[in-house]
Structure 1
Amino acid sequence: MSIFDKVRNQRNKIILNKEVLSPSYVPPQLIHRTHKEEELAKYFLDLLEEPGKNYSYAIISGPQGVGKTHLALHFYNELKEAFKKEVGKDLLRAHINCYLGYRSLSQILRGITTSMRLGTPTRGISNTEMLEYIFRALDKSDKYLLVILDDFQYALYNDRDIARFFARLDERFSSREQRIHVIIIVNSINTFLAYANDEKLKNWKRKHVYMPPYSQAELFDILRDRRDRAFYPNTVPDEIILEISKWIGVDTGKSLGAHSGSARLAIETLKLSAERAESLGKQQVDTEDLRYAWAELNKQGDLMIVSELVERLNDHELLFLYSLASVLEVTGESYVRIGKVEEEYRMLCETLGIEPRKHTQIYEYARRLSNLGIIRRENPTKGMRGRSTLLSIEFPLTPFKEKLIQVLRRRNYEL
């Protein structure tokens, strides 16, 4: 292929490798989570230094989208490599997602046999027999197994005694090598401890790794890494990465509630933005693509909800909002200064032949619209003077403006 063919093939293409944006993708490096992986490694040193002697286990907790599963899977890859190098034996993996139907002990054990490609005995057998079946297979092949029980809270809701089974797994084979080791992933350590009706279970909190939500700066680094792996060069500007990070970072995106600080939500926002830009034949993702993605993913982006709020605004609030949307549309920026919006508003009022509101009232409109969640308002950056408050709209501008025009025309404004 000539360089010209290569350029032609890349024309209006943005996404190079969509797999990198998949929730199942495990990056080669865990950005801002290395210290958590080292913390987890402390609990499995015995497995490397004295394999088979002790039962190794840990629990990982944290809200959605903070990398709990990625941490466990990446850690397994590291542990598997070290185990082969230091012990000279294979460490298998069984990743069981309890949310996906593995909620009883029998379902989990059958999931383990499937992961090990053992097949399931045709006759009905008890859980104890199933566990023995797994152990015999490991003994025979002289291999070890790391079981990752993901979203384990769903199994707990189904059977509160299931945690006790795994807490005392080593006691069932105390006279044999400990070949099965466990990582449990839950949304909250308190959820796990609420079902800890066993003293041994309570000891698990000593081997607990908590995964906090990501900050804006951390999300920026993660998104930039995914951007560099997933997209063609120069198709996703840093400004887009920064804006997503700002919306979702736990220190800046508090309105998102439980989704604040979620890398999963941030990556999905980036993916949908790029897919829209590519479908429209653009060469680069812009802020309008970002707004459309946000409307898809964030319930605050539901224009039906916003439409109800818009209907309740007074005339000048609507005109100010229309002016903001117009300035954002013309400039293509994510944020614009309130002074620029005020200028647009005054010109609009002059065109319509009406008296504009005073400067102080404009600031009150911005404050009220921000409190309603219709616009986003940023405080002035240090060193900026005067009318430097920054404003943005987090909804797709075209349908948003169309809604404003509909309401204003019903109120006899000719736009």
Structure 2
Amino acid sequence: MILGRGNMRGMTSGRALAAALCAVLLGGTAQAQSVEDFYKGKRLRLIVGGSAGGGYDTYARAFVRYYVRYIPGKPSVIVQNMQGAGGVLATNFIASGAVPRDGSVFATSLRTVATAPLLDPRGTKYDANKLNWIGSLANEVSLCVSWHTSPVKTFADAQKQELIVGASNGNDTEIIPAVFNNLLGTKFKIVVGYVAVGINVAMERGEVAGRCSWSWSSLLSQRPDWIRDKKINLLVLTSNKRHPDIPAEVPLIMDFARNDADRTLLEIFLLPQVMGRPYFLPDGVPAERVAALRKAFDETAKDPGMAADFKRLKLELSPVSGEEIQAMLTRVYATPPEVIARARDAMRYKGEKMVAQIKTVKTSGTVLLSIREGRQIEFKLADGKTAKTSVSGSKTKVTISGKKATRAEIKAGMTCAIEWPGPGQQARSLDCK
């Protein structure tokens, strides 16, 4: 027994020594793998939950050029679009475990993804409170607008007569007009099925007469001439704050709230505006890397070069920190269930469900640039203007000199016959030579 105890002591001492050595070795490894060491030489992935050429995509590509300079180790970044379900598809992907939880993959998606699990959980497979929010580039101001030929010139007019508005499935271009119908008595008729920039083309063609929850920054980057040439009527600010560049006579949506209960619900729906251009990581990313990426975000937002680029591109820059976003979401997810139930009902569009029949047109152009192996092509069109189109590997028919080809085979200098809904949207076919 004494010998046994001695052996046990020896084994225990040996195990203790081994554990101590492991701790030293692991500690040394952890110390060696600093945040800078981890990111040095890495190629990060930024998943954009919106269409190529849309507002979120434009923001992301302008932002990451500067962001990598402030991340320790100065990694490179590739941008990938994953459009669908109002940004939920990309957010599900980030949260699913399909990507590493090491800080090498992050995302930007439509602002409504933060409250979707609470207000419209269908299809959501993530907990917004568990995502690591890096920050938002804009505390957004958005509007409802109508085309200049529409008899609806004001928000009060929209409470009296029908206005057909275009929308993308599942995002706030569909949700917000439904909320206004149910809470404020507007008569928006919603046509879904458009991509973001496609709503603008539909307005020009007369397919729809307006749109709601259009970010002021996106309006300025996509159609600044519509403001200059008075092509649209600014009906209402779907925000809880004004913007210095928007005429004072355009009312705030809160001006139309009929009681405190409606005002409370509107505040919940307007929360995503505060985090208008959000960036986030999956849960489980080491805390020191989350902190480093948040710090890099805050520093990037102060970069004068990026501020100048954003001004040139007419992009709003009014950053909100990741810590602020995390705190706001904690508060909103503590909202009483009966209030959330009423909010969910207010989101349901109770009119006739209409789906856009997307019309295509044909034009021609010369390829200026093939981006990401043909996933996006920039053309100089026959009218001299430049425009981009996204090219699907499965849905876009590509031919070169009459033979079936892949998008990666499209090269600068080729001339192509293009069939598409319009600039900035996915091509149906490209026949190049």
Q: Flag whether TM exceeds 0.5 (same fold).
A: no
TMscore range, shorter length: under 0.3
Higher strand share: 2
TM-score between both structures, scaled by the size of structure 2: 0.24
Higher helix share: 1
TM-score between both structures, scaled by the size of structure 1: 0.25
Is the radius of gyration larger for structure 1 or structure 2? 1
